[in-house]
Amino acid sequence: MINSSPITTWEGAGAIFTFAGGGAALWFWIMAVLLIVPLAVAFKAEKNAENEHD
């Protein structure tokens, strides 16, 4: 559905990864945001544990 191929033929191809022709940076930033989520989850869980046990 999403045409992410940077190539139309394998002859002489270099960077073949998805979105190499444009758009890869978006995935980089989505990944970066997703790395923040577990930090928030950990913080919240620790806070709850402290509140329950203090």
Partner 1 sequence: MTPEEIKAAIQASATINLEVYYYWATAIMVLIHAGFLMYEMGASRVKHTLASGTKNILAFAFMIPTFFMFGWWIYLAMTAGFIPNFEAGAGGVPWSDAMGPNLKDNASGVFVAAFTLFACTTASILSGAVIERIRMMAFIILAVLLGSVVWVLSASWGWHYDGWMTKSLGYHDFGASGVVHMISGFFALGVLINLGPRVGKFNSDGSANIIKGHSLPMTATGLMLIVVGFFGFLGACVIFPGTAVSFHETMWTNIYGQPTTLSAIAFNTLMAVAGGIIGCYVMTRDPFWMMSGALCGVISAAAGLDLWYPGTAFVIAFIGGLIGPLAAKFIEKRGIDDAVGAVAVHGMCGVWGLLAVGIFMGGYPAVSETIPGITFYGQFVGMLVMAALGFIPGFMVSFVMKKLGILRASNAVQEAGMDVEIVGDAYPEQMITNTPKTKG
Q: Toward partner 1, which CB reaches closer, 13 or 47?
A: 13
User: Which residues make up the interface to partner 1 (CB under 8 A)?
Assistant: 1-5, 7-10, 13, 16-20, 24, 27-28, 30-31, 34-35, 37-38, 41, 45, 53
In whole angstroms, give the CA distance from residue 26 to residue 1.
18
* Residue 30 burial class via C-beta count within 10 angstroms: exposed 0-12, middle 13-18, buried 19 and up: exposed
Give the HSE-up count for residue 2: Cα atoms under 13 Å, Cβ half-sphere: 6
Could you tell me the smallest distance in angstroms from the CB atom of residue 37 to partner 1? 5
Q: What is the nearest approach in angstroms of partner 1 to the Cβ of residue 47?
A: 13
